[in-house]
Structure formats: C-alpha cells, structure tokens
Amino acid sequence: MVQAIPISTSPSRFRSEKYEFGRTRSDLAPLASTFLPGRVSVVIPCYNSENFIGEAIESALGQTWRDVEVIVVDDGSSDSSHQVISGYGDRVRCITQQQSGAPAARNRGLRTASGEFIQFLDADDALLTDSIERRLDAFPNDEVDAVFGDLEFCDSRLDQVLSTTSHDEWPGTDPLAHIIGSNINTEGPLHKRRCLYSIGGFDEGLPCSQEFNLHIRLFLHGARFAYLPGVVARAREHSGQTRIDNLPWYIDAPGLHLHIVKHHHHLIAEVDQSLLSPGVRHAFAHILWSRGVIASRHGAFDVARCYFRNSKRYASRLRPQGSTFFRLSHALLGPFTTTWLLYQKRRALGILSARNR
C-alpha cells in the first residue's frame, strides 16, 4: 500500500497548475533492440539557442570516438538556430517540430537515433573531447546500463569554472538515495539504449526536473549505474528565459515543486515500499530543506517556511553542513529562524557597506 505524504501549503502562490505527470512514449519500447553496435547517438534539443548551438554540435562532432551520430531537434525556434544547424549539412541530422518542450524534443530524437548508446546534450553546453570514449571504456560489463561522470558549471563563455559536481560517495549503501540527493545531470550519463527506451524516455508532462525523474524511473526499472570520476561536459550558468527576476523556478512556483517531489515519492512506493528507506526519505527532506535555505537568501520567507515545514514530513531531523554557528542555531532555533537571522545580517552588512562607499 502506498503511504500518502500530505503537502502543507497556503493559498495563491503555492498552488500549482494541473500537469499530467507520467506522459512517456510507449512507441520507444519496440525500438529498444534495434541499433547499430558501437554507435553513439548524441541527442540535442534546441530552442532559440543561435549563440550556443554551434559550439554544442562541434563538441559532439569532435569526439575522439569516431562512430557518433548527431541529432538536433529544433523545438520551434524563432531565431536563426535552424540556419546554424543546417550549415553542418549531412554531418548533423536536423529535425524540426512545433515547440513542445525539451522532454518531447529529446524523445523525438530518440525515435530517430540508431546508436547502441545515447548521449543527451543541451544546446548551450559542450562535451569534453574524449567524453564519450572514456565512458565507453568504463562500461565494466553488460550488466551496467549507464556510466556517468561529472559536470563543470561555467560562465556564459565556458571560460571560468564556477563549480564542479562530484559523486565520490557513489554508490554508498543506498544508490537510490544518492540518485535523489545528488541529482545526476542530463549530460552526465552515457546510456545503453535498452532501459532508456523500455521506460518510454523522458516524461513529457513534467515542466522541470526531467532528468531527476528519468534517473529515478531508470533505477526503478532495474537499470544499473556506474560512476566514472572526472568531468565529461561543461554547462553554462546563465539566466533562463522562463525565470522571473532571475529567481530559481522553485521559489517562484513552490507548489509545483512540492507536487513533483510527492510524485516521485509515490513512484518509488508503487514499485516497492521498502525502497523508501531512511536514506531516501532523508534525501527528499534535504531537497526541500535546501530549497528553503535558498528561498531565505532571496528574502522569500513565506516560501522558505513552506519548504521547511514540508521537509519535516519526509525526515524530522536534518544535520546540515556549514559553520558552527549555523549548525548550532539550526539545532536550537530551527531552520526558519536561523536563515531569517542570516538574511538580516547580510542585509545589515550590505547597508553598512553602501554607506561607507
């Protein structure tokens, strides 16, 4: 029996639109066993990325692994993206469609792909030159379905590294908890075709968190992941067109995020209630708790309170990392008061700094 997790919200801002989660592609499953051995299909969804799509394509074409098929799905771009893509001629397979979103574009690419292996790449990111070959060499045996590496998050020119992911604790005692807590990025894994197609690819009903959803569903379907330490791709950090005032989407739409987390909790419980281990519950709790911390940094205290309250529904005790003051204050005063005090401190210091200029 699936254990229900209630969502605690307040009116207006915390309401989410009605989304049809679970819209996967059943027409992909029959294609799971039809492929060219050794070929890698790089699937790139593109929407209004004229300034970046060329670099993404070049990074795919320039791989040290020679049998690479590049598929770009132009998802209704209104800029000159299509002209840039077309300039590569028959080296790139270009598919055009009406704007349907990144998950639908990736699934469209999957229906065309002929490779035994699938690599996803966003139009504004780039693969390292030996990225594919390193991960192909790291497949230990036929029992592994995906080998994933790390990403560098860079500025808009891909010149300056801002942060780097790390999965050094993989797999630990609870791989599912790691997948939930670490959120393996879209470009990180090189997938074998079979499981990816068997689950119907990406969920086209999700407006965000699609790779998070994909990796959980792959795991629940029996896919085995292996970690290859080292950077495999570079991703740009820049403001997206869908953001309002550069706020992260989960601050602008907390109700949607809460329902997405609940949806994934339900997916796991439906497969096997025992998979909802303390580690998995803690991972869900930490996601919501960290959203609350970030919301507080932006001064969105109503959102922060909502996230902190819902975090306790998955795990009551969290031991955050940070300074001694932060950890002690968190334990004594709770996350909301702690983050509110830190926000006021930063605000006061900012005012003093401005006066001293």
DSSP state letters, 306-352: HHHHHHTTT-S-----S-HHHHHHHHHH-HHHHHHHHHHHHHHHHHH
62 & 174 share domain: yes
Domain membership of residue 21 (yes or no) is no
199 & 255 share domain: no
Of 236, 264, 288, which residue constitutes the final position of a domain?
Answer: 236
Strand positions, DSSP E, the chain: 36-46, 68-75, 92-97, 115-120, 126-127, 146-154, 161-164, 189-192, 225-236
pLDDT of residue 351: 67
pLDDT of residue 13: 54
Per-residue pLDDT of the chain (357 residues; tens, 9 = 90+): 445 555 555 545 555 566 789 999 999 999 999 999 999 999 999 999 999 999 999 999 999 999 999 999 999 999 999 999 999 999 999 999 999 999 999 999 999 999 999 999 999 999 999 999 999 999 977 789 999 999 999 988 888 899 999 898 888 889 999 999 988 999 999 999 999 999 999 999 998 889 999 999 999 999 999 999 999 999 998 654 433 345 788 999 999 999 999 999 999 999 999 999 999 999 999 999 999 999 998 999 999 999 999 999 998 777 777 777 777 777 777 787 878 877 787 777 776 666 666
232 & 282 share domain: no
Residue with tokens 């969105």, as numbered in its chain: 300
Asked whether the beta carbons of 216 and 280 are under 8 A apart, the reply is no
DSSP readout, 170-225? -STT-HHHHHHHH---TTSEEEEHHHHHHTTSS-TT-SS-HHHHHHHHHHHTT--E
Euclidean distance between the first and final Cα of the chain, in Å? Answer: 62
pTM of the full structure: 0.89
132 & 201 share domain: yes
By C-alpha distance, which of 188, 236, 235 is closest to 214? Answer: 188
Distance (Å, rounded) from C-alpha 167 to C-alpha 186?
14
Domain membership of residue 26 (yes or no) is no
60 & 182 share domain: yes
151 & 274 share domain: no
Domain of residue 150, residue span: 34-236
pLDDT of residue 315: 86
pLDDT of residue 23: 93
Which string of b and e fits 191-218 if b means at least 16 CB within 10 Å? bbbbbbbbbbbbbbbbbbbbbbbbbbbb
Of 236, 264, 294, which residue constitutes the final position of a domain?
Answer: 236
205 & 308 share domain: no
